[in-house]
Structure 1
Amino acid sequence: MPLRRLLAALAALLVGAATLVAVPTEAQAAPNFKAPFPCGQRWTYSHHSQEVRRALDFVRSDGGTTNGTPVLASAGGTAYRFSQPGGAGNYISIEHGGGWKTYYFHLSAYSVANGQAVGQGQQIGVTGSTGASSGPHIHYEQLLNGVGQNIVINGSGLSYPGSYGSAHLTSDNGCGSQPGKQFMTWGSGIRVRADARLNATVVGTLGGPTSVRVLCQKQGDTVTAEGYTNNWWAKLASPAGFMSNIYIDDPNAVLPGVPTC
């Protein structure tokens, strides 16, 4: 065999051997994904046969209003804005690195710029019903290298019920991680009402019109007064440790970013 042909044959064998011993690239570990809605809120979810990939649809089940609720990044990354009027509507895609991506469909509004870096728990949009949607909800997906994955929140896989009401998820996304989320300043836009007025002595012991910590909130006795009806109340604490219950005068009933008691 001529030397040139012999060298070519040896080269082909070496290439073939290298191919045989090649080891596939190991899949990147998933981020610690959290719920795509604010801390303390409870949502129910379902999966329908018409849904693409392994999506879950979320709607509120804690007495609050789904439409207009903030949508949060379930992990940090780079957010991209898209619009698909006949399908996903206004939606956000977040690239998390390592081939991981999350989708948030049917937004009524965007809260971040296209290509903006976002942190876990940061508001990226507002829940709505744009595109092919029968009502306000968050269509949520987790993908690896473009392939839909079974959704995992805080390391635990969620079920895939065929209707709402049988499975629920309470969010811990953003709990204490965003300045101001668990604190409330009177007159800051979140209205509250106590048994006594805010300038009364019993409330004045909280320090007057200053920031107080909202420890938690829950449903209690229904209160009707001066144009509002609500059965949610919050437990507050001042820097000195004084605690009091105070009723929430908020059309959405639940304070965003505050856990339930």
Structure 2
Amino acid sequence: MPSRRALSVLLAAVIGLFGLTATPAQAAPAFKAPYPCGQQWTYSHHSAEVRLALDFVRSDGGSTAGTPVLASASGTAYRYYQSGGAGNYVVVDHGGGWQTYYFHLAAFSISHGQGVSQGQQLGTTGSTGNSSGAHIHYEQLYNGVGQTIRINGVSLAPYPGSYYQKYLTSDNGCSGQSGKYWVDTFANAPGYASPTSTTQTGTLYAGTNYVFCKVWGREIRDGSGNYNHWWLRTDLDVGPANQYVSAYYLSRWGNDEARDNNGTVIPNC
């Protein structure tokens, strides 16, 4: 009877001969969705994508284009460009043979070879390269071989062949992971050095943004009776870091509320 070692060698040879994918020997990281907390996206798979990739577009009423693309797990991030295919894309090496890929970015938010934490912004969603519209093309690879995508340990298979059949709500970066709370803003928000200042220092663009904490300050009110006294500390898109914008600009909440996209109350500074 062949030895156990001989059987293992024979099995490996058969796997290599027929191009089969063996079960990964190194457990996968606890991957999370590649977009901010509380957002719902729909996903689909094209048969031409041989590495078991999924394409994601936003389905909760927010804009897909410009939404932050987040690291699914911690690792080392590398940025690349491919004009006829992936466009601007990032590869995160998680160690142990595991990598994730993020294609078609509008812009990068990291430097080449930078260490990143889970939930850290890698770039913004776009349509660069061979793409017909803004989306996140997302892959999980083990030793260079595409794997069925799992989020929070749950497989997303069987994959749908078109959007709006299956949906995924993100918990990446929720409740202050990495000290950040993700929020949606409905308009460009002026930034100030303090919650009582009236001298604008910059602008936070409309869309999905991170904030750190909140402070009670001067009232912002419109002609329709909407108002807010909370101010959110954040890094502006134009202007210095650690400035304040009014929670009035939050898309999802009402008067004198300051919650993230997941409904968590943003802590006091």
TM-score interval, smaller chain: 0.5 to 0.7
Aligned to 1:80: 78
Aligned to 2:220: 198
Q: Secondary structure at the match of 1:163?
A: coil
Aligned-partner Cα distance in 1 for 2:154–2:169: 13
One-letter amino acid of the counterpart of residue 198, structure 1? I
Calculate the aligned-residue CA RMSD, in Å. 3.6
TM-score of the two chains, using structure 2 as the length reference = 0.66
Aligned-partner Cα distance in 1 for 2:182–2:130: 35
Aligned-partner Cα distance in 2 for 1:245–1:97: 41
Q: CA deviation at 1:141?
A: 0.2
1:211-250 equivalences in 2 (<5 Å): 211=232, 232-234=251-253, 244-245=256-257
Aligned-partner Cα distance in 1 for 2:231–2:251: 22
TM-score of the two chains, using structure 1 as the length reference = 0.68
- On the 8 A contact 1:33/1:152 being kept in 2, the answer is yes
Any gaps of 5 or more consecutive residues in structure 2?
13-22, 193-203, 207-218, 234-248, 265-269
Aligned to 2:30: 32
Aligned to 1:96: 94
Aligned to 2:62: 64
Any gaps of 5 or more consecutive residues in structure 1?
1-16, 192-196, 213-229, 237-243, 247-254
Aligned-partner Cα distance in 2 for 1:66–1:94: 21
- Structure of greater Rg: 1
- On the 8 A contact 1:35/1:172 being kept in 2, the answer is yes
Aligned-partner Cα distance in 1 for 2:79–2:4: 42
1:47-196 equivalences in 2 (<5 Å): 47-159=45-157, 160-175=159-174, 176-181=176-181, 187=191, 189=204
- On the 8 A contact 2:64/2:134 being kept in 1, the answer is yes
Aligned residues between the structures: 206
Q: 1:149 to 1:120 in 2, by over 3 A?
A: same
- On the 8 A contact 1:186/1:209 being kept in 2, the answer is no
Greater CA drift, 179-188 or 36-45 = 179-188
- On the 8 A contact 1:233/1:245 being kept in 2, the answer is no
